[in-house]
Structure 1
Amino acid sequence: MSWLEETMVGFDTETTGVSTDHDRIVTAAVITRTGGDVSTRTWLIDPGVEIPASATAVHGITTEQARAEGKQPADALEEIASVLASALTAGFPVVAFNAQFDLSLLESELARHGLASLASRIPGGVVAPVVDPLVLDRHLDRYRKGKRKLIDLCTIYAVPVVADDLHAADADVLATLELVQALGAAHPAMRESHLTDLHTQQIEAHRAWATSFSAFLKSKGVTDDLPRTAWPVAVAETRSEPAELGADSLF
């Protein structure tokens, strides 16, 4: 049986901004799916800072709503980390679109509130296995032109979504879980790969992409906010200049 037919745990966040080092989680969703059985947990969090209007325009949560209805961040983060750690310890893959962002931000938030890191909660201290359809698509169809946002990939792989529903964490997770299935159908070898191997292959695929894209940005004079080569977690302490690496093939 392929891992695609077994339990998967989807994860997504909506935030105050795009910095994994400095921004905060506003909403989060964890959806566990085994076949047709689906269980959903969602969190609305008071991030403790103002939510910029630009962020509210994306996910719809205002500072006032978060303060009035949101859970205290330390409590919510502890719950989120516990759920994800339990899944990973059981060997269930955490599925996230652009996983590096959500998992790195989660680790930064846990550190900010003096909580145990996600990695430290897992035997062996490794956040794995993780499945990221962005990393997979970017590698498996690397020469395709165009954007690779969640809505774009759902369109390409014929995953039905309501565009207005996206940017709600739970809707994004459901779309991502469906997208992984569609990717597996389009790339049969992905279905047959062992999760441990798939995780390792994504590490290398992301590193190759980040190295190449960083070199491109530097050639255009861009030196700030270059892609971080570590995946699925890249916190500030582990940030380094991308090393040269060839684009190894998955599978």
Structure 2
Amino acid sequence: MAHPPCLLFDCDGTLVDSEPLLAAEMAIALSGVGLPFLASDYMGEFRGSRFRQIVAELQRRHGEVDPDHLEIMETRMRRKLMQRLETELVPLPGASEALAALAGYPMAVVSNGPEAKILASLSSSGLAEYFGDRLFSGYTANCWKPDPCLFLHAASLMGYAPEDCVAIDDSIVGVRAALAAGMTVIHLNRFPDAEQTPSGAIMISSMYQLPTVITHLTAARQMAVSG
């Protein structure tokens, strides 16, 4: 019988509803150093992207900012964001129920965010128990989505081949990274009117749907092995 697949979850916007908080703090911080940015810019154009890549693109459009100012701005922004995550963050609807239903599967979190932010998000939302120390950060691995290397790094340390992993991600950046890594990919598309699921990924619109999809994928794997 085939072993169950390893489930690799994104964090922001997949497990926890942190993106509105992140977008709001980004807008305040970036605008404060002369890089015009609205919360809607993050949700519309930059969702899932590494913060430094967003800064680089804004500087390309609006002009360079003193690196020291940028460093101070990022430190202050991350401190304020952590405070809000600890007091305001909630799981995404259906995330707690999905993780409880899938608790028998090996699972990890794979995120572009810093490890401290991942841990704070999971702890304050009550989801940390499902993952333990199986948290894979782009800042720890020194590689970020959309490069597939972060997913490949996580799969290797979890002891799974890429084809034996299922990645669950809400951002196009993450979906493309996992597809490039050769994984089965489930796109949590919460904005189907505005966002198209990339070819090759499975679309769901709610985390409540995830256990059924994983059950079907697991059954198909077992049939392929036995047949």
TM-score scaled to structure 1, two decimals?
Answer: 0.29
Please identify which structure carries the higher helix content: 2
Higher relative contact order (CA 8 A, sep 6+): 2
